[in-house]
Structure 1
Amino acid sequence: MRFPGANADRDEAAYVLTGAPLDATTTFQPGTRFGPERVRKFAATYDDYDRRTDSFFSDLRVHDAGDVPAWDALDEYLDHLTAELRAAVIDDAVPFLLGGEHTVTWAGVRASDPDVLVTVDAHLDLRDAYDGNPLSHACVVRRCLDGYESDESSGGDHPTVDEVVVLGARTGSPEEWERADAPDVTVVAPEDVTDWVREFDGFGGREAYLSIDIDGADPGFAPGTGTMEPFGLSPREIRDAVRAVAPHCVGIDAVEVNDRDDGQAAALAGKLLREAVYSHADAR
């Protein structure tokens, strides 16, 4: 199944959508392997036309490259996924990544090499390791900030971001909150996100990457995710953040959708991805 309206040929695409059905380190409710196809399915009912930007999604040169099938060797998979996304960047297209667990964001950051990571998330994801695994989904923001050197490769010299903004975070370990106190991290509580968006005026010319973890939404709106956390954001609050940040982005993803609801999480993720495309294209 192709993302609805993503009908551009690869060689003419301005946006390349790639599915990454990784489901290797989920800690509570698995099922993110079904996320990409589920989002495609529940996005099928949306109208092509967007009144706010006076544009048709099908005219915005979006190409759906299908999925990059996942396997258990996380280092190797992330390297391969990074290369696939990097090919879009080389062709002057913006990579849109459809997860899969949040770990795949590190591939998106490595491929697009932004200055700032903005993530909508209930969790800080700033652990250095979780259950002994530094590539857990609970560590992805830490990897994007501080990098990682695999014992099995000569890597470690991967792009990292200079700054992280976490929108909607409401839980984390003591060690994560300590890391979040550093000058390169800004945590915006759910009740403050609207004010942050209202005051947002770009990143001073710096490029950003936007990651939308669907658990940033309150589970009443998006129960189909691995680790639900109450007291979260409304869909409109996330939509407004996406509209504000997307024009400044060199890469965007939506992650952590699983198959454990009636489509609420997938429908929201698909709508937010479309909002990101409309907003980015309108600013060009």
Structure 2
Amino acid sequence: MNPFPGARPDRTGESDAAFSVVGAPLETSTTFQPGARFGPRRVRQFSETFDDYDRRTGRRFSELSVTDRGDVRAWDDAAESLEWLEGELTDVVRSGGLPLLIGGEHTVSLAGARATDPDVFVALDAHLDLREAYDGNPLSHACVTRRVIEEVADEAVIVGARTGSEAEWERAEEGDVTVVTPGEVADWEPDVEGRVYLSVDIDAADPAFAPGTGTMEPFGLEPTAMRDAVRAVAPRAVGFDVVEVNDRDDGQAGALAGKLLREFVFAAAARE
């Protein structure tokens, strides 16, 4: 498998890179369109045409100390897969790097949060993902934000959310959750303190822009709004992921995901 374009391959895990891409093709709880296991491959593939040079920052992606560790094998047991993935991401953190996780279903974000121990979990997401369980499964992709704030983070900010069960909306009214609806995103300025983990579920985008995802939800965000949110959060982030890309389109979702990953790196690198 080719590494993310502009990143150096690192199969040994011994690199002291500033950023490390890790693929996580976990797919155990998809509830509609399958294919999230192909996400890491699609994101790498449809990022191949992007220019190395970024005019806004005046920097080249290939010069920002990014490596790609390849994909972490996933299997049917989500709990065991997450434990293994957490270990791989913890290795990145211990070596001084910032993990760039490519899913896979949104459940993988729990491993990213466990490894980076953030104070705040910021998720760009069409869905609240605050269910206690979905079809009896507490590790469903529909529960990930709830699991993160129960296990790791003190609070969650869900940007672009526009759907959820009645119980989820009631949970979102509690003090440790902030919901920024699509209509509010243009005026949103991150007011978060401490360590932040940023998760981008590609279904935060309107499906017109990213149809290749498991659970499409209309009336979503435009790519420029997602880009601006990523740029705003990146300077204070300790970890990043982009998830829920599948193979059910002509590359739109993969291209958007790859571009947002690059935007994150450029913005995060600028804080140095």
Common fold: TM-score over 0.5: yes
Q: What residue is the counterpart of 2:243 in the other structure?
A: 255
Q: CA deviation at 1:110?
A: 0.1
The C-alpha deviation readout for 1:142-190, integer Å capped at 9, x for no partner, is: 000113xxxxxxxxxxxx1001000000000011001100000000000
* Letter aligned with residue 40 of structure 2: P
Q: CA deviation at 1:203?
A: 2.3
The C-alpha deviation readout for 1:115-163, integer Å capped at 9, x for no partner, is: 000000000000010000000000000000113xxxxxxxxxxxx1001
Is 2:192 aligned against 1:203? yes
Q: What residue is the counterpart of 1:3 in the other structure?
A: 4
Q: What residue is the counterpart of 1:131 in the other structure?
A: 135
Correspondent of 2:202 among 202, 208, 214: 214
Is 2:29 aligned against 1:25? yes
- Name the SS of the counterpart of 1:245 in structure 2: helix
The C-alpha deviation readout for 1:217-256, integer Å capped at 9, x for no partner, is: 0000000000000000000000000000011100000000
Q: What residue is the counterpart of 1:157 in the other structure?
A: none
Task: Report the aligned-residue RMSD.
Answer: 0.9
Maintained 8 Å contact 2:86/2:111? yes
Maintained 8 Å contact 2:200/2:241? yes
Maintained 8 Å contact 1:218/1:233? yes
Distance 2:192 2:27 in 1: 33
Maintained 8 Å contact 2:98/2:239? yes
* Superposition pairs of residues 141-180 of structure 1, within 5 angstroms: 141-147=145-151, 160-180=152-172
Correspondent of 1:246 among 224, 234, 238: 234
Q: What residue is the counterpart of 1:234 in the other structure?
A: 222
Distance 1:116 1:12 in 2: 26
- Name the SS of the counterpart of 2:148 in structure 1: helix
Q: What residue is the counterpart of 1:151 in the other structure?
A: none
- Report the TM-score when normalising by structure 2: 0.97
Is 2:125 aligned against 1:121? yes
Q: CA deviation at 1:12?
A: 3.0
Uncovered stretches (5+) of structure 1, i.e. residues with no partner: 148-159
Q: How many residues align?
A: 268
* Letter aligned with residue 33 of structure 2: Q
- Report the TM-score when normalising by structure 1: 0.93
The C-alpha deviation readout for 1:82-114, integer Å capped at 9, x for no partner, is: 000000000110001000000000000000000
* Letter aligned with residue 3 of structure 1: F
Maintained 8 Å contact 2:160/2:182? yes
Q: Give identity over the alignment, percent.
A: 63
Uncovered stretches (5+) of structure 2, i.e. residues with no partner: none
Is 2:72 aligned against 1:68? yes
Is 2:35 aligned against 1:35? no
The C-alpha deviation readout for 1:178-219, integer Å capped at 9, x for no partner, is: 1100000000000101101xx33x523x01000000000000
* Superposition pairs of residues 258-269 of structure 1, within 5 angstroms: 258-269=246-257
- Name the SS of the counterpart of 2:270 in structure 1: helix
